[in-house]
Amino acid sequence: MFPALHAKKVILGISGSIAAYKTPLLVRALVKAGAEVQVVMTPSSKSFVAPLSLSTVSNKAVYSEFVESEDELWNNHVDLGLWADLMLIAPASANTLSKMAQATCDNLLLAVYLSAKCPVYFAPAMDLDMHEHPATQDAIQRLISRNNIHIPAQEGELASGLQGVGRMQEPDQIVDFLEQDLSSKMPLLGTKMMVTAGPTYEPLDPVRYIGNYSSGKMGYAIANEAASQGAEVILISGPADDLAIHPGVTLVQTKTADDMHTACLRHFEDCNILVMAAAVADYKPKHVEVSKIKKEEEITSVELVKTVDILESLGKKKTSQVLVGFALETDNELSNAKEKIKKKNLDAIILNSLADKGAGFQHATNKITFIPALGEHTAFTLKDKSEVAVDVLTQIKTMIDA
């Protein structure tokens, strides 16, 4: 099982080393692990392995030139660099390592490397003396210091007949290395998470509703961060702003508190963690008019009824799920928030204070206090909501692991 590599978009950069003859097996192993592989070759690597073998096993055209001569198509290195979830340069020859370290850009592989925003792994392969040379070691260290991830060459018999360090790791070992490294950075791998976000709209008539100013930013940030940490995420959203979502997030759009409740019930049994960040309306109009209310009708009041408390209802159904709510308070903040933990049978609540500048609805920032049902609360400073999402998930994970 390779859950961390599953559905990952991988650029495999192949440079000119004899170890390139193993790359069709490497592509096969990556594809078997569930990855989508795009091969980019340096011109000299084509002397060691046929592009046709690589395009056959990757099921994609192989790129090696900025412009493909057959069809005059431009291979956009920037798009390629942005497309990838990770880039693996294997084998990384002494020449390519040195150019990567110096930002030389004289072939497509190097241009893609310089454009890549994703983690880059490199697996050196060369003869013993070349590998030992201080200039090569210096290039490797410089790449490591810039957060490129080194898959060290192994000791063994080299193509020259010499014995020593310089062999590229075997394809299966490289895939195991990637899987382990990626998993270590995905603490929520194997977790099913449900997140709610945004406001709810409670209709008065076909053109009017009762709603609130929630933008959905906090819930979306938590959902996106959870997905990037490996969780399978269902995001149940009210009518929020049009916000970006991570490919690992499944979006379920809802409108009213009742819709959101139905969607939550559908997915609740299956989830391990629920974070209820939605600003659910507490009241809805008792009657929804079928036609638009006219001015002449002289309506001076609207009768309201309470909406379902979604979190409280899920708290009653809870078996092994971890439930985390939000509390928006203006006074007696800590005690009110703690009261909600009990009332709704929660494991923790995240307190937002309307007294804090830059926190709460609409803002790109938030200031929270994480209050577990058991143990001490932790207050955080004002941060961007994407950073708050990291804090929230770290707190939840720490609480679960305790």
> Which residues are known catalytic residues?
212
CB nearer ligand CTP, residue 13 or residue 360 = 360
Q: Is the dihedral of CA 271, 277, 278, 280 positive or negative?
A: positive
CB of 344 to ligand CTP, least distance (A): 6
CB nearer ligand CTP, residue 123 or residue 280 = 280
Is residue 326 within the footprint of ligand CTP (CB under 6 A)?
yes
CB of 305 to ligand CTP, least distance (A): 12
Stretch that binds ligand CTP, among 47-55, 79-87, 112-120, 325-333 (CB under 6 A): 325-333
Which SS3 state, helix, strand or coil, does residue 170 take?
coil
Interface pattern 264-293 for ligand CTP (x via CB under 6 A): ------------x-x-x-x-----------
Nearest CA-CA partner of 17 in 9, 8, 26, 28: 26
Q: Is the dihedral of CA 358, 364, 365, 366 positive or negative?
A: positive
CB nearer ligand CTP, residue 22 or residue 344 = 344
Partners of residue 349 on adjacent β-strands: 325, 371
CB nearer ligand CTP, residue 166 or residue 315 = 315
Stretch that binds ligand CTP, among 45-53, 121-129, 170-178, 308-316 (CB under 6 A): 308-316
Asked if residue 89 lies in contact with residue 153, where contact means CB atoms within 8 angstroms, the answer is no
Residues 327-366, interacting with ligand CTP (CB under 6 A): 327-328, 340
Stretch that binds ligand CTP, among 28-36, 123-131, 284-292, 320-328 (CB under 6 A): 320-328
CB of 280 to ligand CTP, least distance (A): 4
Asked if residue 19 lies in contact with residue 91, where contact means CB atoms within 8 angstroms, the answer is yes
Q: Is the dihedral of CA 180, 136, 88, 46 positive or negative?
A: negative
Q: Please, is 169 exposed, middle or buried when counting C-beta atoms within 10 Å of its C-beta (0-12, 13-18, 19+)?
A: buried
Cα–Cα distance, 165 to 63 (Å, whole number): 30
CB nearer ligand CTP, residue 151 or residue 195 = 195
CB of 324 to ligand CTP, least distance (A): 8
CB of 291 to ligand CTP, least distance (A): 28
CB of 202 to ligand CTP, least distance (A): 10
Count of positions on this chain that bind ligand CTP (CB under 6 A):
14
Stretch that binds ligand CTP, among 135-143, 211-219, 321-329, 374-382 (CB under 6 A): 321-329
Nearest CA-CA partner of 168 in 127, 211, 223, 220: 127
Nearest CA-CA partner of 137 in 119, 147, 150: 150
Per CB under 6 A, the list member of 259, 289, 309, 384 interacting with ligand CTP is 309
Nearest CA-CA partner of 66 in 99, 39, 106, 14: 106
CB of 236 to ligand CTP, least distance (A): 11
> Strands 322-329 and 348-353: what pairing?
parallel
Interface pattern 228-257 for ligand CTP (x via CB under 6 A): -----------------------------x
DSSP string, 84-142: -SEEEEEEE-HHHHHHHHHT---SHHHHHHHH--S-EEEEE---HHHHHSHHHHHHHHH
Residues found near ligand CTP in the complex (CB under 6 A):
257, 276, 278, 280, 282, 307, 309-311, 325-328, 340
